[in-house]
Every structure is written in C-alpha cells, then in structure tokens.
Structure 1
Amino acid sequence: MNRPPGRSPRTAVEAAVEAARWAPSVHNTQPWTFAVTGEEISLRADADRRLRVADDEGREMLVSCGAALFTMRVAMRQAGYRPVVRILPDPDRPALLAVVTAGEPAEPDERTSVLVAEIERRRTHRAGFTGLPVPDRLVQALVRSAAAEGARLTPVRAPEAVAVLAALTQAAQGVQARNRRFSLEVIRWARPPGSSRTDGVPAGGYPLQAARTEPHFAQRDYAWRHRWGSTGADPGATDPGVVAVLTTGGDTREDWLAAGQALQRVLLHACAYGVSAAFHTQVLEMRHLREFVREELCSGEYPQMIMRLGVTFDAKDAVRRPLDDLLD
C-alpha cells in the first residue's frame, strides 16, 4: 500500500505522542515518558511519579501507562499507519513498557476516528450523576470494547453487590483518611486554586462537597484540611450510575498494561456517547480488600478498576504536562 498523501511515519509518531499525554492516570500523575527514535516510540514508566504508599507494586502506574499506550495506538492508526507494538520488550529494562512502531499504511476506519475525537474531550468525574440512563446497548458495547483488549468489563447489576462495593469503598476511604501517609500522598497530587502546575488534580476537578449517592461511593479527600474544590457541581446529581468492575485473568505486568488499554478504549467509547466515568481505587489499594472483591464478586479474576458510568453536565478543565517534559 502506498503512503497516505501528506502523511509520513514521522508525522504519525508525533501525533501518537501528542495524543498519549491526554490519557487518564491515577491522581493525574501522568507517570510516563516517551523516547522517539525515527519511526519508533518507547513508552517508559516514570517511577518518580508512582504512588509509593497506595501503589507500592506499581500496578496503578502500569494501568495508567497502558491507557497511554492505547491512546498512542489509536492516534497512530488515525494518522494513517498501523501500529506495531512490542510489550515489555527487554527484561533487563523494567521501566521500558512498550515500543510502538509505525507499520504499514492503513486508512483509519470510522470507529478509530470516533475514539480519537474524544481523546482531549474525555474527563474524569468525581461526584454523582444526573440519573439519565446509560442505555443497555451501550453498556454491552463497552463490554465488547474491553474484551477486544483482553480484559473483562462486568456491569454490577445486583443491588446487593453494588451495596457491597459501596460499603467497601467507604471502609477503604475511611481507613486511608486516618492514615497520615495516605493523606499526604493524596494532597501531594491535589492542586490549590490558581496553581500553575500541569499535573495532579486541579481544584476545579472535584467538588468542594460532593452530594451523597445512594448507595454512597466515597470520594477521595483531595481538599484534606483545606477549603478547595469546585462549588459548581450539581447538588441534585446523586445517582451512582452504572457500577462496573474491570478485571483480568492474571495479575502480571502484562495484565496491568492490558487493563489500562481496555480502560482507555472503554472511556473513549463511552465519552463518544456522552457518558463519563468516576473511579474508585481505594479498595484496590488494600490487598485484603482487593482479594475479597476478587474472590467474592469477580469469580476469581483480578479487579483492576472499579468505576461508575453515567451522564453529567459538570464540565471541567484538564491539565497536562507539556510535551517537552515528557520526551526523554
């Protein structure tokens, strides 16, 4: 196949790296760097941005990097080239997570174009939803999106199971809030009003006081001992939305990267239909609670993300580090 008119592999590489910086990450830590060599991109984990208290094994860091990897793949495809990906290519370099190369020219399909259009529009939600329904047909499409990346997205339909997840989230948040090391780590990534930082969660990115959902899913206390947060959230947005758990059959570094790719594919797909996601990782940061969820609610699969999907009209700005800070 001939090269797409006006598109070079180098252009596709640049588009992929630019898009990747918009991927979601825990506390918006953006724990990645990129190295570009010709038509090849190396994705590396930035261990200095790992949550040392909450994420001592680096699982959340790699899930975040997996989201960046999927974003690179879909952006490169939109730029007219098939991405060729090697996962964990060098055992002697554990920080090197993937190498992405611009392969054969390939015209993007409609689905790719739809996903790419949402990369910069997608936002994480940190409160309740409006109560407008998420169509079952869309939920099933999101399940298929996760499966396409080697993960399983399971909507939690039973009210009793939803109540259990809500209670576990409250318990984990309560324990973490009493732990000074956990609290200081969260506040490290919370940004005060007017901050010029380009990482972490800005004060406009979470409500000053979130309305309680029923059942209640506890939120992170980014404003710990401060009066930070947005006052523009809809106080009537109390619906929890569709609760879902993203799981993988294994719990290796490869599985964490696969979970991140599945997560981003699901988020972009949902965003195209006006659906946002709220995340609850507190439970998964406590080994015994995560194991309980795995055994009792996930049929033995490993939970990588607990989320709520719903409709919100609470628009937020996003902050991302400039590309110069990400290129190694």
Structure 2
Amino acid sequence: MSTRTAEEITSAFHRAVQAAVWAPSVHNTQPWSFTLDGPELALRADSGRKLRLGDTMGREMLISCGAALMNVRLALRVLGCQPQVRVLPDPDRPALLATVRMGEAVAADEHTRLLHAEIERRRTHRAGFTELPVADPLLEAFVSQASAEGARLTPVRSEAAVRVIAGLTGAAQDVQSQDRMFTLEMIRWAQPPGSSRREGVPAQGYPRQPGRTSPYFAQRDYAHGHPWGSDTDQSGSTSTGTVAVLTTPGDSRQDWLVAGQALQRVLLHASAYDVSAAFHTQALEMFHLREFLRQELLSGEYPQMIMRLGFSVDEGEGIRRPVTEVKQERRTA
C-alpha cells in the first residue's frame, strides 16, 4: 500500500465530503456532520436536523446519511483508493454512524466513474413524468444496483398494487396535513422564493401547478397556500412513471444505512440515463400503514423508500450547505 502524506489524506477527505453533501435527504435536511481525525473520517448523524414528528425513530435520517456515505465511497474510489468503512463502530456512541479510512490504491472502473459524475447532477423530482416509459433492461439494472448494496428494489408491476400504494400515500398525506405540529415541522424546511438558506426544499424545487397523475400520488405541500413553485409547463407530465419500493430484510439502524447506500447507488445510475425519481415517504412515516405494506405487498420485507421513476422535463434546483458547515478537523497538539 502506498504511503500518503497528511496533506494528501486531508485533501482526499475534503473532496469526499464535498461529494457527500450532495446526497438526497428527507426534506433536504442534510442531517449529517463529518469529522476528520488524522487518517480517519467520521460520519455522524446531526440529531438537531431530525424530524421529531415525521421521523421519530430516525430511520429517514439514517437513510439520508447512508446516501452521503455512498458518495464518500465513490469519491475515494475515483481518487484512487479503496475506502475502508466501519459502520456503527461504537455502540456507546449512537450518533457515530461510520468511520472511513483510505485503503489500498485501486483504479476506479468505468461504472464507478459514471456514478461519481452524477453526484452533483442528480435531482429529486416532485411531479409527474412524461409518457416515455423506463425500459425493462434499465429497471433490471436498477434492481442490480440495489442488490449490490444488500437491499432489494422491486418495480411494482401490478396495477392493483400501484393503486394500493397510491391510496396509502394519499391517506397518510391527508392525515398528516390535519396535524398542525406535523405541518409546522415540514414548513420549517420549506424555503420561500429568494431565500438564502442552503437547506430545505427551495421554492423552485417543485412545480406551482403539477400535473395530476393517475393513479394520483400525493405530493408534499411545501408551498402551504403560497403561490410558490416553478412555472415550468407540466401539461405533458401526467404519467405516474414506474413505481418501485426499496426494502431490506431487517429494520435495524444498520439496515437503514444499507438502504441509504443502495438508494443513492440506484439514483446515480438512473441519473446517468436521465431517469429521475420522486419520493413518497408519507405512508412509511405511519407505523400501521408501513406494516400493512410490509405484510400485504412486500412478503415481509421492510419498506424503506417508495419512489416513482421516469423521465421529466425539468431538473429543478439543488441547494446544499457548504462543506465548512458540515466538516470539522480534530487537531492534536
């Protein structure tokens, strides 16, 4: 293994964190922090950004952090080293999700470079899709990407099952929208036009008048009665797209981190082929609805993400906090 200087290690980890911050996160909360301690980079959950009502167990927070960890791994591979990752290394420090060291020198393969190139380009979609379908071979590739990380991605082929998932999403959305405290928590992460904050969902990150899909998948109401949103014409974007569910065999904190890494790997591969994803977590935030999905549609596996995949006419706007806000360096005297 080649010897790396402290400056080379610091530079590599800085670039890895630059990639990590572009991971998707629930409501773009960006619930992560990084600490560089000599030859090791630590990933921690930022509990101050956890959704106290919408994510009581921290499942979505850890999925978000798992996606960031995937970006760290890809960045280090592209820089020519094999990342050595320890997940949940210390039971006494639950906020410490992973540590990463730079392993042996390796040359990044073409697929790794392909995924890495999409990190800053990938965007979350919040509307319907065009009528152009996602080809089966591409869907099979997405399934393989999730499997490579230890999760299962299942495209939902049954029209009846799609209607059930859409119905559960709508039911959860209706219940949550009647909960004032839940609504206020979500509004915290909705940014008005012209906001300078580099977190949350920007006003241009969703259409002002989205086309209605059939079956209808309820979208979060980030505008909350305000005339916010993009003016992009959505008249040709009324397709539901392909509904897919990401699952894991278990439902531990480690499974949530696995799900996040698998999710990001799928999203980056999709982005390389101009396929966008829209997320629907409402039903997964309500225990009984999530259990219904698990037992009735998913053969006992735990649903970690419901998404729709398709082709969109716009990419939306991406905002992220600067690396200086999420990374610190521990210096020894």
Structure 2 length-normalised TM: 0.96
Aligned partners of 1:234 and 1:314 also within 8 Å: no
Opposite residue 206 of structure 1, the aligned amino acid is Y
- Extract unaligned runs of 5+ from structure 1: none
What residue in structure 1 maps to residue 222 of structure 2? 222
2:12 & 2:325 partners in 1: Cα distance? 20
> Which residue of the partner structure matches residue 256 of structure 2?
256
- Could you tell me which amino acid in structure 2 is paired with residue 288 of structure 1? H
Deviation larger for 240-249 or 224-233: 224-233
CA displacement 1:28-76 (0-9 Å, x = unmatched): 0000000012231100000000001100100000000000001100111
Pairing of 1:196-207 with structure 2 (within 5 A): 196-207=196-207
CA drift of 1:8 comes to 3.5
Whether the 8 Å contact between 1:12 and 1:80 is mirrored in structure 2 is no
Letter aligned with residue 214 of structure 2: E
One-letter amino acid matched to 2:153: L
Q: List aligned pairs for 1:95-134, cutoff 5 A.
A: 95-134=95-134
CA distance in 2, matches of 1:324, 1:286: 35
Question: 1:36 — aligned with what?
Answer: 36
1:181-205 deviations in Å (ceiling 9; x for gaps): 1111111100000000000000000
Amino acid at match of 2:67: A
Report the more deviating stretch, 24-33 or 232-241: 232-241
| Secondary structure of 1:8 counterpart | helix
- Alignment map for 1:130-149 (pairs within 5 Å): 130-149=130-149
- Separation in structure 1 between the aligned mates of residue 129 and residue 20 of structure 2, nearest angstrom: 27
Contact persistence 2:89–2:96 (CA under 8 A) = yes
**Counterpart amino acid of 1:41?**
L
**Which whole-Å deviations, capped at 9, do the CAs of 1:221-262 have from their partners, x for residues lacking one?**
001132211121422200011100000000000000000000
Superposition map of 1:206-217 within 5 A: 206-217=206-217
- What letter matches 2:315 in structure 1? A
User: 2:278 corresponds to which residue?
Assistant: 278
Aligned partners of 2:298, 2:16: CA distance in 1, in Å?
Answer: 34
Tell me which residue corresponds to 2:312. Answer: 312
Q: How many residues align?
A: 326
Q: Between the two proteins, what is the percent identity of the paired residues?
A: 63
CA distance in 2, matches of 1:223, 1:26: 16
Aligned residue number for residue 176 of structure 1: 176
Contact 1:11 1:79 in 2 (8 A): no
Classify the secondary structure of the residue corresponding to 2:123.
coil
The aligned residue for residue 82 of structure 1 is 82
What's the CA shift string for 1:253-287, capped at 9, x where partnerless? 00000000000000000000010000000000000
Name the Cα RMSD after superposition: 1.2
Structure 2 unpaired stretches of 5+ = 329-333
In 2: Cα distance, 1:250 partner to 1:26 partner: 21
Is residue 266 from structure 1 mapped to residue 262 from structure 2 by the alignment? no
> Structure 2 CA distance, aligned partners of 1:273 and 1:64?
23
Query: Match of 1:185?
Result: 185
Deviations 1:271-322 (A, max 9, x none): 0001000000000000000000000111000000000000012132210001
Distance 1:27 1:121 in 2: 18
